[in-house]
Amino acid sequence: MNAPTLDLTKRHWTATRGELMAIGSWIRLDDRWRPCMAIIRTGDDGSERAIPCVVTIDKAWIWSEEIGDSREAARSMVGFLEALRLNPQNFRNHHRVFSLIADHLGDLLKMPPYQADRSTPILDVTIQERETGRIREVEISEDV
């Protein structure tokens, strides 16, 4: 099992609300790219200080106002607030983060499957034919 991979330069949508930014991206879990929503502080984009708070499409239902699991959301919320450097003792911070997530669940659910950037080579291969000695160089540009 590989560690999760999240590349916030690959975005389907971005929404900013005050000091918080929600990003529709993809996270690699168990060798599969899955849609997710990552929340960071506005201005931390690309910074080493940014600790993304991730809502995967598989767990999006937890944050739903209609069918969600408020206990599970509350457990996740404490970690989210600490990562976002927001005071977990201030209930308004809970509401701000929850509202941002809830407001963009539809955007998360509408995201298409991950498409590898076909224009960026990910591998260079050199092939030498045994019979002729001819050498061919090939660039592989699909995520396999």
- Assess whether 77 and 125 both reside in one domain: no
- Assess whether 24 and 12 both reside in one domain: yes
- Indicate the pLDDT class of residue 89, thresholds 50, 70 and 90: very high
Q: What is the pTM of this model?
A: 0.79
- Assess whether 75 and 140 both reside in one domain: no
Q: Is the pLDDT of residue 143 over 60?
A: no
pLDDT: which is higher, 2 or 49? 49
Give the chain's domain count.
2
What length does the chain have?
Answer: 144
- Assess whether 79 and 131 both reside in one domain: no
Q: Is the pLDDT of residue 40 over 60?
A: yes
Domain range for 89 is 5-113
pLDDT digits (tens, 9 = 90+) for 45-60: 888 888 999 999 999 9
- Assess whether 44 and 86 both reside in one domain: yes
Q: Tell me, what's the pLDDT at 74?
A: 94
Residue 127: strand pairing partners: 136
